[in-house]
Every structure is written in structure tokens, then in C-alpha cells.
Chains A and B, each alone.
Chain A
Amino acid sequence: MAVPATSSSVLAGFYREHHGWLLGWLRRRTHNAECAADLTQDTFVRLLSRRVDPAELRLPRAYLTTIAHALLVNHWQRADLERAYLAALAAQPEPVHPSAEERTQALQLLHAIADMLQGLPERPRRAFLMARLSGMGYAQIGQQLGVSERMVKKYMAQAMLHCLQLSGDLPA
């Protein structure tokens, strides 16, 4: 496939023209300068990885905000996931206070697992989590989901297969 030969000077001009307002746009939404700068950078990287020639874009602002918005939603989802996990840890009758390192590792793992489970239909996903994290048996899961044990078994196989198919893309 022919990669559009975007000259570096075209790219540099495009970056200069759009970097400022995009950073401002993201800063207003994140209220966090560092995070806005990261997301701005990610937006340009995403644009380049799509092999889009900036010179060809008819509505460059609309194009960039669409990418930035998707990244922002993803960022919020990740932040929500972290908050939910840490809040649940802290809300335990005897709160757990993991070290910064343990915390970072746990959060990375949590994101990886959330990504892995993404795209699974609701019930297989819940069945899998109930079995894994709550140690529930099939009968109990079936009751919660209002389905038969046979169905729970099917969900478990479906969820595991989903993860297996993705895991080939992960480093061992």
C-alpha cells in the first residue's frame, strides 16, 4: 500500500497550526494541563498512524476533535475504572492501603483485564467475573442471571474463548 508521502514541512506546518487550539480544547475538558498535553500528542500520533495526509483534510478541526474526543472518552473510562477500584478498596470495613507500586501494578492489570473483556456480551462477561472474582458456582450465577446452569457453562466457554483469541496479541 502506498503511504501518502507527507513531507515533514507540511506536517510541521499542520502541527503548528492546530496544536495550540487543540491543547486548549482538551485542557478545558480535562482541567489538567499535563493530561491535556498527553492527549494532544496522542491525537497527532493517531492521525499519523491512520496514514492521513493532513493536506488532504477538508475539515481538519472537525477531524482532530473527533479523534481527540474518542481519546478523551477512553481516558475518562480509564480514570473511572481506577476510581471505582480504589474507592471500593477504601470502602472496605478495614481499608487496604497498597503501596504506590502495588497500586500501579494493580491498576495496569485492571485496565488490561477491562480491555480484554470489552466486546463480550453482558451476561457472559458477568458470569465470568462472578466465577472468577466472587468465586460463585454455576448454579448461583445462573440464579443471578436468570438462566440455567447449562447456559452459564456456555457463557463461561464463550468468555474464555473471547479472552483466548485476544491473548495471542499480548506478550506472553
Chain B
Amino acid sequence: MSQGIASPALEQAAEWFALRQQGAWSGDDQRRWEAWLREHAEHARAWQRVESIWTSFAPLAPHAAAQALDAAGRRRRRALRGIGGALGLGALSLLGLQGLQSQRQRLPLRTAAGHTGAWTLRDGSQLWLNADSEVVVDVAEGRRALYLLRGELLLQTGHAPAYAHLPLTVHTAGARLQPMGTRFAVGRCGPDSRLDVFGGAVRCLPLLGTALDVVAGSGARIGALGALQPVTADPLRGDWTDGRLQVTDTPLLRVVDELARHHRGYLGCDPRVAALKVTAVLPRLNSLQALPLLARALPIRIEQRWPWWTVLRPA
């Protein structure tokens, strides 16, 4: 059966998991949990297995998988009911499930490379999507959640009365984020995510580890399993909604990093010019227009050896 892990360790791991998912995870719980993890190598191994089970669902489209797996369960029960009517299994109520499905209105929003998008959600929230991004919006009766699948979003939380009592949750790799009256950006970057808060505060509930409240002006890097690393909020990550990149006394390297996100191919910066200060308004999504503007204002030249390889060098 379970290679090398005694069942008490698995049972305890399952209990810790259920407590942690409940959301009311206190500092004391964290300490007790850490002590449990250290107590025995088997505990750590059991917990690792909990993590891998929980994360194994990640590559599936959550809504489609929920429907398919629900349906699979229903079919199996229907088959059982044939046999089980006499045993009282026939009384299984499926109404709850169907009710849930009819209410479910998940709306995927997507932007192509080179284009940003803006939407107002039912709860009054203002949502912007950066270029090449995708988010699933699940805002309906009783639910208020966003799932960031790709790219980057910026959210200004709304306060439509019907949703006032419902906490909003933004799901990204490694964590759930619960904003408290705020404006913030979340981006995905490979297996990790990054949060930048520009107004109010956001509670970051990592997959593993303790919750962290991130206030305006700060941010956090979020590892795939929820490792949190506090950072200073990067204002550039919050001002892309109108497609302009507005910078004041910003090092060239930062500007290039920002342009590189929407640049086709490699875009780099020679270390000798990286620290040059830039004050400009540039088209954020169009590096082909932005680079000549930079070259006109600064002592740099654009070196393009191949169509997909561009570096800014000293003039």
C-alpha cells in the first residue's frame, strides 16, 4: 500500500490539511504544525504527498474538470442506485449539485499579445488585463472569485451592494489573495506569482505557510507552493492600464525590463547604460516605437543583430 509511510502519519497529515484549508490558521496552529513536521521524517514525507496531491489538479481547467468529475461521480451513483434502491441509496439527492451547476457562470477573459483589456465586473470591481493574459471570472450569487491563469491582472475592488458581504478571492499559482478594499496587481511568472499592492491591503493565503497581509506600497513574490517573499511594490506594475509607460528618473534597465515583457524576441540592456535615468512617456506594448524614442533621448544606440535579438548599447 502506502510505501513506507505508516498510516498514523498519513492520518495526521490529512487532519492538518483539513485544518489548514479551513482558513482560520493561527500562529499557534503554524507552530504546532511545524513541530509536527519536524517530529518525524515520515511526517514531512506524508506532508509532501499532501502537497503533491493538492497541486496535481493544477494543469486542469478547473471549471471543466469540476463538471466532468461531477458527472463521472453522478453516473457511478446512478449505476449504484440500480442495485442500491432497496438498500436506501436511492434517496441520494442530486438537486444540490444541479442547483450549483446552473448558477455557475464562469467567464474567461483573455487578451492577445500587444493588447490590454478592461472590464467592469458584476460586483463593481474594475479589472484590467495586461497583454497576453487570461483570467476566469466567477462572480455570481454567493461567489466572488477570479482565477489568474496566465499573464497579469490589475484589480480595483468594487462595492456593489449585493456583493458587499462576500469576500473576493483571487486565485493564482501558490496562493489565494483576499483584498480588503484595494487596488493591486497580480502577475504570473512561470510557476511563481507576484503581488503588488497600490491601495488598501491584500491578505495573501499561501498554499503552504502562514497568511501575510500585504499593504499598499509593498508586494510579495509567491512561490509555486506558496513560499512568500516580501518586496517593495513596483509602481510600474500598476500603471499599464492605458498602454502607456510613464517613468520619472527610472533606471534604463527597469524600463527595458518592462518593454521586454511585450517584445517579441530578446530585448536586453548593456550594463554600461543600465543605470541611465529615464523620464519619458512611452508606448508600453510597442517596443518598436518605444526604443527609437529612448535612443533619441539618451546616449544609446539600438543594436539588432538578428530580428529576434535586440540590445541597447552605449552610443
Beyond A113-B57, A135-B176, A145-B96, whether A156 also contacts B17 by CB under 8 A is: yes
Write out the residue numbers on chain A whose beta carbons fall within 8 Å of the beta carbon of B106: 92
- Pick the interface stretch among A3-11, A13-21, A41-49, A124-132: A124-132
| Alpha-carbon gap, A136 to B4, bound state (A) | 33
In the complex, residue of chain A having the shortest beta-carbon distance to the beta carbon of B74: A122
**Chain A, 90-123, contact with B by CB distance < 8 Å: what is the 0/1 string?**
0011101000001001100110111011100010
Beyond A81-B72, A140-B142, whether A133 also contacts B66 by CB under 8 A is: yes
| Alpha-carbon gap, A114 to B17, bound state (A) | 20
Beyond A80-B75, A96-B108, whether A135 also contacts B147 by CB under 8 A is: yes
Query: How many chain A residues touch B (Cβ–Cβ < 8 Å)?
Result: 56
Residue A153 contacts which of B22, B59, B67, B100 (CB distance < 8 angstroms)? B22
Judge whether A117 and B169 touch: CB under 8 Å.
Answer: no
Interface: B155 (CB within 8 A): no
Residue B54 contacts which of A84, A109, A132 (CB distance < 8 angstroms)? A132
Beyond A92-B63, A117-B69, whether A109 also contacts B56 by CB under 8 A is: yes
Q: Which of A77, A105, A122 has the most CB of B within 10 A?
A: A122
| Alpha-carbon gap, A40 to B251, bound state (A) | 68
Interface: A32 (CB within 8 A): no
Beyond A84-B67, A110-B68, A157-B17, whether A122 also contacts B59 by CB under 8 A is: no
| Alpha-carbon gap, A154 to B97, bound state (A) | 20
Write out the residue numbers on chain A whose beta carbons fall within 8 Å of the beta carbon of B176: 135
Judge whether B2 and A167 touch: CB under 8 Å.
Answer: yes
Beyond A77-B72, A80-B71, A109-B56, whether A157 also contacts B61 by CB under 8 A is: no
- Pick the interface stretch among B45-53, B182-190, B191-199: B45-53
Judge whether B77 and A122 touch: CB under 8 Å.
Answer: yes
Write out the residue numbers on chain A whose beta carbons fall within 8 Å of the beta carbon of B5: 168
Beyond A133-B63, A164-B13, whether A156 also contacts B18 by CB under 8 A is: yes
Judge whether A93 and B18 touch: CB under 8 Å.
Answer: no
Write out the residue numbers on chain B whose beta carbons fall within 8 Å of the beta carbon of A133: 57, 60, 62-63, 65-66, 69
| Alpha-carbon gap, A165 to B75, bound state (A) | 24
Given contacts A84-B68, A143-B142, A164-B50, 19 further A-B contacts (CB under 8 A): A77-B75, A81-B69, A84-B71, A85-B61, A109-B56, A109-B60, A110-B68, A113-B57, A117-B73, A125-B73, A132-B54, A133-B63, A134-B62, A135-B147, A160-B13, A160-B50, A161-B14, A168-B2, A169-B3
Name 26 A/B residue pairs within 8 A (Cβ), A-sorted.
Answer: A84-B67, A88-B63, A88-B64, A88-B68, A96-B61, A96-B108, A113-B56, A113-B57, A116-B53, A132-B57, A135-B62, A135-B138, A135-B147, A135-B176, A136-B143, A138-B22, A140-B143, A145-B96, A160-B13, A161-B10, A164-B46, A165-B2, A168-B1, A168-B2, A168-B3, A169-B2
The interface of chain A, by Cβ under 8 A from chain B, is 77, 80-82, 84-86, 88-89, 92-94, 96, 102, 105-106, 109-110, 112-114, 116-118, 122, 125-126, 129-138, 140, 143-146, 149, 153-154, 156-158, 160-161, 163-165, 167-169
